[in-house]
Amino acid sequence: MKQPTIITKVVMLVIFLAGVVYLVGAAWQIFTDPFSTIMTYEYTVDDAAEATGWLVRTEQVIPGQGSIVDVLPDQGEKVGAGQTVAVVYRDETALDRSRQRRALELKLQQLNYTLLRGEASWDNQRLDQSITDAMARLRASAAAGDLTGLEEQALTLKSLVLQREATYDGAASIDAQIQAVQAQINALDQASGADTTAVRAPVAGTFSALADGYESVLTPAALNNLTPLSLETLTAQPVAAPEGAVGKLITKATWYFAVTVPEEVAARLVEGWSVRIRFSRDWSGEVAMKTESISAPQDGRTAVVFSSDRHLADTSLLRRQTVDLIFDSTTGIRVPKKAIRTIDVTRTDPDTGEKVPTGEKQVGLYVLTGVQAEWRPVEILADDGDYCLVQSVLSDNPTATEQKKMLRAGDEIIVAAEDLFDGKVVR
């Protein structure tokens, strides 16, 4: 066998060393190149100021006597003058009789329902299958959160069970049960003649179950000529919830929000103009409120009164609240500041075909398109700390190509990489 020459050995060594150098270089690039990407998303930055204030309404407390009270309207429900808003029970015995009557009324309803459905033949096998099917439908509705049909399905199931029980004695058994239950209801009615006292609404209004004692303190009239000091004085008064009250009625649709804000915040408000106010503590919602009045500043602070006739029911439980006064909002694509780059703008020389610097700068970022970095010019809309809100820079009449290359939510942008340029293969 022919032995390899010295030249062959040297060539092989050089090839080996070149391969080692390449692998080391590739590995070094992998570990040292800070290549990273992130998905973009749409985001809104608010120009807002925080403020703490008090909700003010035209309110009338509904007095009541007794410690056992059953309030009838829902929170924020509109009630008419003279409508029963609560039932006051004389004692625990009276309350127990009321509960018994409600249970008997439900049972009577079920028995009557069963009797109406019992005109079909009393076939035990068919009833058993119907009960099984009704149970399956009930479970399905409960699992799906379908509360609308849940009550009807439950009533149907109870009716089928009663029918099944009555198969031993026939429909006469249900008639006898109906008569017995009705007799029990009549007996309770005779015994409960003086058990309850109805509390009626003195005027029409929106019902609120919370009477906090501020009803006679924080009134619309008290907001006239409001100052930071007078608002502080009003809200510093010791108040206590009225004893025996079953709730209150809000008798006018317009409600107010009185706050004190720094002078520089008040300077951004204009009487008669609206501002968006975002509630978030006890109720999450946003209300466009009219700026009713702006006081003269005192010690760098100003009293401001806002008004609205919307969302009265939603805010009927609120009193002292911390909110955001939103002056403006900016929506764009949120990207890390590290992804923003500035490049020199060039043009192509028509004679030489070479790229010539124009002396202009362009702000933008690189989007990962397939395996390439693609340059996208952007305009910075807002600074959000370590992030920016940006949007694509387009001409007045953008071409289809420009529109295709617009920066959109969901694009994968390059945050960090070395020696980036448009069209560079990065993967």
**What one-character-per-residue DSSP string does 164-185 give?**
HHHTTT-HHHHHHHHHHHHHHH
Low-confidence residues of the chain, pLDDT below 50?
1, 30, 120-121
- pLDDT at position 168: 55
What the block records as the tokens of 355 is: 């790229």
Q: Give the number of other CB atoms < 10 A from CB of residue 281.
A: 10
- pLDDT at position 29: 52
* Burial classification of residue 89, based on how many CB atoms lie within 10 Å of its CB (0-12 exposed, 13-18 middle, 19 or more buried): buried
Identify the three-state secondary structure at position 23.
Answer: helix
- pLDDT at position 193: 67
Q: Would you state the torsion angle of the CA atoms of residues 263, 267, 273, 274, taken in this order, to the nearest 10 degrees?
A: -50
- pLDDT at position 33: 56
- pLDDT at position 384: 82
CA 252 distance to own-chain centroid: 27
- pLDDT at position 229: 96
- pLDDT at position 11: 66
- pLDDT at position 234: 93
Order the strands of the 84-89 sheet from edge to edge: 68-71, 84-89, 196-200
Comparing C-alpha atoms, which of 85, 64, 63 is closest to residue 74? Answer: 85
Identify the three-state secondary structure at position 155.
Answer: helix
- Residue 102 · residue 196 · CB < 8 Å: no
- pLDDT at position 47: 93
Identify the three-state secondary structure at position 417.
Answer: coil
The span from the CA of 255 to the CA of 205, in Å, is: 13
Q: Would you state the torsion angle of the CA atoms of residues 350, 355, 361, 367, taken in this order, to the nearest 10 degrees?
A: 110
**What one-character-per-residue DSSP string does 293-346 give?**
EEPPPBTTEEEEEEEESSSTTTTTT--EEEEEEEEEEEEEEEEEGGG-EEEEEE
